[in-house]
Amino acid sequence: MTTNGEEKRWKFAQCFGDKGDSDDITEADIISAVEFDHTGDYLATGDKGGRVVLFERNDGKKGCEYKFHTEFQSHEPEFDYLKSLEIEEKINKIKWCKRTNSAHFLLSTNDKTIKLWKVFERSIKVANENTSNSITGRNLFIPKISHQDNIVAAVPRRIYANAHAYHINSISVNSDSETYMSADDLRINLWNLDISEQSFNIVDIKPANMEELTEVITAAEFHPNQCNLLMYSSSKGSVKLADMRESALCDQNAKVFEAHEDPNTRSFFSEIISSISDVKFSPDGRYILARDYLTLKIWDINMESKPIQTININDNLRSSLCDLYENDCIFDKFECLFSGDGKSVMTGSYSNNFSIYNRDTKDEIPLQADKSAFKAKRLVGNQKKMTTMGRNGKREDLDPVDFNKKILHASWHPKDNIIAVAATNNLFIFAE
């Protein structure tokens, strides 16, 4: 449990999104990906309408505020005529490449196709008639070129297509800045950023007979500084750490991190809630953070026997798993984050709530990304919200849980304590 002082250290700083919480939000407006670049000076969001919006840090204002930089249509809806399948334009993931010049490069993907975008400033020049340069005796004028404006342009430099038979759930740029990987339900492919025609299959868990399928890949990420190491998680609740130097296929000889469940607590929902929705390396690469439906687990990559820390997230939902199964919320995929210094972790929940956990002090800082909540706080003033103490000593809010408002996607600034949080169609910035 936190003290009020710790909660007050984090404050709501900014919100992008113009429709508020009304019912006229279209599906296309819902944010589906959030990602800071390596400097933290730029922030990208992707939405279900296939758009990517970039924000840049606003140095002219105090604090951490960001301002709009540019927007472009990354993906369009497609139709696979061979499989009679509609392919949504929804952006599943965005990853920035490390910057080497004045231009930005970033990868965005929908279910099937990955694109490498170049974003850069382009100068607009206009030709004006220049009377001072007329040539004597002739009506010949040399135009004068003058700078009129700068615009931010986005062009697709590479399109990496036709390599995935199943939905792409992850992309991760390697620390060598030359390669990246993309993961779908059953395979992980390795790409060279400069070559879009071919990729190498490095993980393949597809069984010879699909009726024997028992698990799928749910997330994958490269180690932050060792370019030969990668990890991927599965729907069976395991995380595998693999070394590309050991074999061409990395699903063999991998380290397996898996917490074994108490047989006495096993139920119909056990397998579903143990499925890992997201994994992240700590910034130094020593620890792994894994999020399943009800817990966050932190693993030391040198210890496979058990997690060094388990944080319960949605304990109050354990009694409602049947309802959550019926309304499909039990399949929600929450992301998880390490702070830039690796000392804190963060993940989201329902009612637009999310929490920051300090790994050393074990303190939890609950926050909410909700415009209506901010308005209510202003109206109520200093009036306390009704809370009660739960069985585990943590406070429990008496407000009913709103399962339509969920914090699935977020990103933590790589250097500062700034968090960007997607709540439906709004982007919230919180700062310490």
State pLDDT tens for residues 307-318.
999 999 988 898
Q: Are 108 and 52 in contact (CB under 8 A)?
A: yes
What per-residue confidence (pLDDT) applies to 244?
94
Task: Tell me the mean pLDDT in the region 77-93.
Answer: 90
What residue ranges do the domains of the chain occupy? 4-41+160-431
pLDDT for the residue numbered 385: 42
pTM of the model: 0.86
What pLDDT is recorded for position 134?
A: 52
Determine the pLDDT at residue 23: 60
Contact by Cβ (8 Å): 108, 97: no
| pLDDT score for 190 | 97
Residue 344 has pLDDT above 80, yes or no: yes
CB within 8 Å of 114: residues ≥ 6 apart:
107, 108, 159, 160, 161, 168, 171, 182, 191
pLDDT tens sequence across 98-153 = 998 989 999 999 999 999 999 998 877 777 766 555 555 566 667 777 666 788 99
Q: What is the model's pLDDT at position 123?
A: 75
Across the range 13-27, mean pLDDT stands at: 74
Burial class (CB in 10 A: 0-12, 13-18, 19+), 31: buried
**29 contacts: CB under 8 Å, gap ≥ 6:** 19, 47, 48, 49, 424, 425
Q: pLDDT (tens digit, 9 = 90+) per residue, 357-404?
A: 999 999 999 999 987 766 555 544 444 443 444 444 444 555 788 999
Look at residue 136 in the predicted model and tell me its pLDDT. 54
Query: How is residue 74 written in tokens?
Result: 């990354």
| pLDDT tens by residue, 262-316 | 777 778 899 999 999 999 999 999 999 999 999 999 999 999 999 999 999 988 8
Q: What is the pLDDT of residue 129?
A: 67
Domain at 4-41+160-431: CATH code: 2.130.10.10
Mean of pLDDT over the chain: 87
